[in-house]
């Protein structure tokens, strides 16, 4: 069972995130960058499947040189090797373009299963599994809170409002996971040391056969025209409950014509 896990490095959602006014893209260089949180659940799930069925877990990421930190984290959790697509021309690409880059890179790998997180905290689009399924002609098993792989078939519980859908597909397939699927392990000291010796292959666009003139900000399918900080909320009213807090709250709602 060979598994490719897609990992994205993102600005820490707990820090102040910014847009770069020079080109209206996410300011990544100066940001406090971390592994996208939900991707850790995808890595964990890949390791769980591998531990049960054997095979190899390969980490695949697209990003600048600094994305090696995200790769090391995945390797220290237990992934076996990594492929890092890094090319200056990719900067500013949108989801459609990144899916083309990932699809080309995946075309050079052997896999039975692709696993990724259901959503990145920076773009919050939740579309990469659908884009890749479309490009690669693979079954899409997205939004999983549970995954079982048995006899060449993957089954998931796709999380829905108030329940789930049971969805199944023959392998190879692409699965995306929510943070309800497992509890990711912490890298052990041994894992961190071992990660330093694991192979990381860095590839350029030319290496994966993608024409540089199809990616990057200038060739994107969408464009950010402008951005602005959300106007700060005016100072709200704050009362301390001295037996009349509930009444004041209800009076406020009445003033807003809500009750």
Partner 1 sequence: MAEVLVLAELNPAGGGVRKTTLEALTAARALGEPSAVVIAAPGTAAGIKDALAEYGAATVYVAEAAEVDEFLVAPKAEVLAQLVQEKSPAAVVIPSSPEGKEIAARLAIKIGSGFLTDVTEIAADGTATQVAFAGSVIVHSKVTAGTPIYTLRGNSVTPEPAAAAGAEQAVSVSVSDAAKGAKVTDRVVEQKSSRPELTEAAIVVSGGRGVASAENFSVIEGLADSLGAAVGASRAAVDSGFYPHSFQVGQTGKTVSPQLYVAVGISGAIQHRAGMQTSKTIVAINKDPEAPIFELADFGVIGDLNTVVPQATELITARK
C-alpha to C-alpha distance for 80 and 69, rounded to whole angstroms: 15
Asked if 30 is part of the footprint of partner 1 (rule: CB under 8 A), the reply reads no
Q: Which of 22, 30, 65, 137 binds partner 1 (CB under 8 A)?
A: 137
Q: Shortest approach of partner 1 to residue 122 CB, angstroms?
A: 8
| Contact call for residues 78 and 47 (beta carbons, < 8 A) | yes
Kindly tell me which of 196 and 225 has the beta carbon lying closer to partner 1.
225
What part of residues 191-210 is at the interface with partner 1 (CB under 8 A)?
A: none
Q: Shortest approach of partner 1 to residue 13 CB, angstroms?
A: 6
Strands 173-177 and 140-150, bridge-based pairing: parallel
Q: Shortest approach of partner 1 to residue 230 CB, angstroms?
A: 5
Kindly tell me which of 196 and 258 has the beta carbon lying closer to partner 1.
258
Q: Shortest approach of partner 1 to residue 102 CB, angstroms?
A: 12
**Dihedrals phi, psi of 39, to nearest 5 degrees:** -65, -30
Q: Shortest approach of partner 1 to residue 28 CB, angstroms?
A: 13
Q: Shortest approach of partner 1 to residue 35 CB, angstroms?
A: 14
Asked if 245 is part of the footprint of partner 1 (rule: CB under 8 A), the reply reads yes
Kindly tell me which of 126 and 202 has the beta carbon lying closer to partner 1.
126
Q: What is the DSSP letter of 123?
A: T
Asked if 238 is part of the footprint of partner 1 (rule: CB under 8 A), the reply reads yes
Q: Shortest approach of partner 1 to residue 76 CB, angstroms?
A: 23
| Contact call for residues 118 and 143 (beta carbons, < 8 A) | yes
Asked if 22 is part of the footprint of partner 1 (rule: CB under 8 A), the reply reads no
Kindly tell me which of 169 and 212 has the beta carbon lying closer to partner 1.
169
Task: For the beta carbon of residue 153, count every other beta carbon within 10 angstroms.
Answer: 12
Applying CB under 8 A, what is the total number of residues that bind partner 1?
78
C-alpha to C-alpha distance for 19 and 26, rounded to whole angstroms: 5
C-alpha to C-alpha distance for 195 and 75, rounded to whole angstroms: 5
Q: How far is CA 215 from the centre of its chain?
A: 20
| Contact call for residues 93 and 222 (beta carbons, < 8 A) | no
Q: Which of 29, 109, 125, 206 binds partner 1 (CB under 8 A)?
A: 125
Q: Which of 66, 148, 213, 247 binds partner 1 (CB under 8 A)?
A: 247
What part of residues 148-177 is at the interface with partner 1 (CB under 8 A)?
A: 158-170, 173
CA distances from 66 to 4, 45, 123, 165, 256 (A): 20, 25, 19, 38, 49
Q: Which of 86, 126, 202, 204 binds partner 1 (CB under 8 A)?
A: 126
C-alpha to C-alpha distance for 79 and 244, rounded to whole angstroms: 57
C-alpha to C-alpha distance for 42 and 20, rounded to whole angstroms: 29
What part of residues 48-107 is at the interface with partner 1 (CB under 8 A)?
A: 94-96, 99
| Contact call for residues 195 and 72 (beta carbons, < 8 A) | yes
């Amino acid at each position: 069972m060979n598994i490719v896990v897609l990992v994205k490095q993102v600005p820490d959602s707990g820090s102040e995130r910014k847009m770069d006014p020079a080109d209206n893209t996410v300011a990544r260089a100066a940001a406090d960058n971390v592994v996208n949180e939900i991707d850790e659940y995808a890595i964990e799930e890949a390791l769980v499947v591998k531990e049960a069925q054997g095979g190899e877990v390969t980490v695949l990421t697209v990003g600048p040189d600094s994305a090696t930190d995200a790769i090391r984290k995945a390797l220290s959790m237990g992934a076996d090797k990594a492929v890092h697509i890094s090319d200056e021309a990719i900067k500013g690409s949108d989801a459609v373009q990144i899916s083309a880059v990932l699809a080309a890179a995946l075309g050079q790998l052997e896999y039975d299963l692709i696993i990724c997180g259901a959503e990145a905290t920076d773009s919050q689009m939740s579309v990469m599994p659908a884009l890749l399924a479309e490009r690669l002609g693979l079954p899409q098993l997205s939004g999983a809170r549970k995954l079982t792989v048995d006899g060449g078939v993957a089954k998931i519980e796709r999380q829905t409002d108030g329940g789930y859908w049971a969805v199944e597909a023959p392998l190879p397939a692409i699965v995306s996971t929510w943070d309800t699927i497992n509890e990711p392990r912490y890298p052990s000291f041994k894992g961190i040391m071992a990660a330093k010796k694991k192979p990381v292959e860095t590839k350029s666009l030319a290496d994966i056969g993608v024409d540089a003139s199809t990616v990057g900000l200038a060739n994107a399918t969408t464009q950010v025209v402008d951005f602005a900080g959300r106007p700060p909320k005016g100072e709200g009213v704050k009362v301390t409950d001295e037996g009349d807090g509930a009444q004041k709250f209800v009076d406020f709602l009445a003033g807003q014509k809500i009750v």
